[in-house]
Structure 1
């Protein structure tokens, strides 16, 4: 992951938060975190603006609001306050404008939201001063049928059986060549970012974010031999509904597409990616150990210095 020493020039910095049921932040008051971050930005010469839905949810904030679709043209950075779901939603929407995003964790796991509210008065100015690492997170581009509009996903695309009790028969093609078919509750196509989300709970592999790969993970397959597979991220994936009473595709859990027998979706790597900023002490493997509860060393032994 590249280091950078380039400070962020004075500019508008957007703040986006989700004080609703998302990200495990239900019942938490987002007003205080948003106000604190805005004041930190002002103190260091930046102009805070509040994403319009956040402004509506937290009525009465004194700062100007800006629509999400306008952030890319008006702001040099977005601070996402909440959990990973908030950051993923924001990142997906500003990726086409190449605006960087940094997260302040107010959710539960927080694989992507690195800054804690407790030390944001120190950590955020460090980032603004150029003491950060920038990482590019890949996006999926999905189309329904031959002429569907492209939709972006940062985590995953899921095809499943919907509300029907019966399994669905799915066919997977890679680069216009039939790969395999199976019967299952569904299938997940996940990015490295999404490999620690739904795909992980379906026994998929964890893919480090700097690996150029996707994973295809069957959901509760009928045959035990149907296992997850890791493929190169320059592959084009086609999922066809061969048989189903009901099915739908879910794009990052924010858009749902009803599917019938014979329908297909295509998935490939998007041209755009999410610019994710981390503090200098960010360590992906430390994040895995902390968030997944992995034991660092045998009990009583200190970690080895390398």
Structure 2
């Protein structure tokens, strides 16, 4: 019996780009193996330009992330959730879906273990997957009424003090309606995706990815009555720095802006989204069980 040719293999994605956490040990060989696997599925394989240059990968053509839209059908990210956050922000609104492959600990977004990729990735290429749309936050930093920074965040926008300064005082408004003045170590504005990140450690609730909301979670507030709150997705949160030294605002903890008293950070849901692809049968609850050790006794972990 003749084997099917590469062109006859059913595939939902024909032009696939690989993105890797180039600092990780063994990344070059891992990406070569993935590229070979994709080529066997009949895909045209590209390596993200930054990844290729750092790992000296020359066997496949390269594309910058800015060139993905319209040229790439699927981005396969090999690394961890931090790698996925970075590439997700850059691809937001491009309609290029992402698949996350983790090399060690299970990730919330990079949920395909590297040891299972040989079986799972061909299924996704063939169209056997579950799509998961994620929202982002759009943040503008205003100083004297002028924008000094504009950034997206897939997880969260965090206004906080430095490690050696005292509390920061923030005035928070929602749709121009005063909510409260808060003295604390900071304030987290989170997407549902980010609710399992920093906001969770600050006592915030876990939001299912399909919940349409924005989470505010104070960091070590001076008043115990300052509690996390989930707001509608169509609001604008305005955070003014009233007082504090060495105050900063972080975007997904991967970029930041130094703040001054009087600066205002306006945060709203972005019009841009990203799409994550998961294997058939993917369960957010299973991921939470495995990450948070639900149904286990403390002595077992």
Length-normalised TM-score, structure 1 = 0.89
Q: Is the 8 A contact 2:104 2:113 kept in 1?
A: no
Match of 2:135 in 1: 138
Structure 2 unpaired stretches of 5+? 1-9
Matches within 5 A, 1:199-238: 199-238=199-238
Inter-partner Cα distance in structure 2 for 1:172 and 1:285: 33
Is 2:5 the partner of 1:8?
no
SS at match of 2:286: helix
Inter-partner Cα distance in structure 2 for 1:228 and 1:206: 11
Match of 1:254 in 2: 254
Inter-partner Cα distance in structure 1 for 2:75 and 2:11: 15
- How many residues are paired up? 285
Match of 1:304 in 2: none
Greater Cα shift, 147-156 or 242-251: 147-156
Is 2:26 the partner of 1:18?
no
Match of 1:300 in 2: none
Length-normalised TM-score, structure 2 = 0.90
Change in Cα spacing, 1:182 to 1:111, as seen in structure 2 (3 Å) is same
Q: Is the 8 A contact 2:137 2:156 kept in 1?
A: yes
Inter-partner Cα distance in structure 2 for 1:238 and 1:292: 32
Match of 1:172 in 2: 172
Inter-partner Cα distance in structure 2 for 1:185 and 1:46: 49
Is 2:53 the partner of 1:49?
no
Q: Is the 8 A contact 1:164 1:245 kept in 2?
A: no
Is 2:119 the partner of 1:103?
no
Matches within 5 A, 1:35-74: 35-74=32-71
Q: Is the 8 A contact 1:92 1:152 kept in 2?
A: yes
The Cα shift of 1:93 comes to: 0.7
Q: Which among 18, 27, 30 is matched to residue 27 of structure 2?
A: 30
Inter-partner Cα distance in structure 2 for 1:111 and 1:185: 26
